[in-house]
Structure 1
């Protein structure tokens, strides 16, 4: 079951369902990322794509950088996938970004599913 307990989550997941309904499965991640960004912006949400995420230790940049696919309203991480199935490494990737960004929640969205609801993984830390 998908948790839509707040207005932001509901809007974002509804937008993801619209993107999947219009484009279907099987395209590249970058296509879904761009389309979902447009759908969120059309809803009046702030949306940033390919956001740099730096890792630091004791104030020192560790020289390892990541890029979060989408950040909505500066509080919700979305990692877009087009894979056969969401694996633990995909969840770990999203959790890493969330910890480094100080976010409490995020989603991994696998657009390679016939039904998008089967490709949604909620992450809370």
Structure 2
């Protein structure tokens, strides 16, 4: 979980991770996700980051709106941040959720934060370079509209 200084948007992700660490150090594990989300908003504001909370992203098929995804945070218009409060380690399912958000928005980087463990767990996630194999691997995790 090292911080790659040469990764794209590392200046922004570094500030977000710092704010998340401050939240985790003050609150510790055991709270609901919304508590961490609100606390992270406050700390990112203090850090001078601009963001949107619970940002709705509309999903379209052939100009028809088929649903909405909600990003926990969209920071500086470039970084998708997804917060979790799980007592278990992050899994491929949570990673796939962030990749889905990146695919839906076309944004360059995501951060997955887990506040539910003794130590803050974080992963910096980038969209895959080749979509064909990637789509097959995470198909079961992608959002699907309900059929009525």
TM-based fold match above 0.5:
yes
1:52 pairs with 49, 56, 67, which one?
56
- Structure 1 gap ranges (5+): none
User: Structure 2 length normalisation: TM-score?
Assistant: 0.78
Q: Which residue of 2 aligns with 1:3?
A: 3
Higher relative strand content: 1
RMSD: 1.2
Alignment of 1:1-125 (within 5 A): 1-5=1-5, 6-62=10-66, 64-83=67-86, 84-116=88-120, 119-125=121-127
CA contact (8 A) 1:82 1:110 kept: yes
Structure showing greater Rg = 2
**d(CA) in 2 for partners of 1:9, 1:25:** 21
- Structure 2 gap ranges (5+): 128-148
**d(CA) in 2 for partners of 1:65, 1:106:** 18
Instruction: Figure out how many residues of one structure are paired with residues of the other and give that number.
Output: 122
User: Structure 1 length normalisation: TM-score?
Assistant: 0.91
- 1:59-107 CA-to-partner distances (Å, cap 9, x unmatched) read 2212x21111011101101100011221211111111111111111111
- 1:35-68 CA-to-partner distances (Å, cap 9, x unmatched) read 0011011111111111111111222212x21111
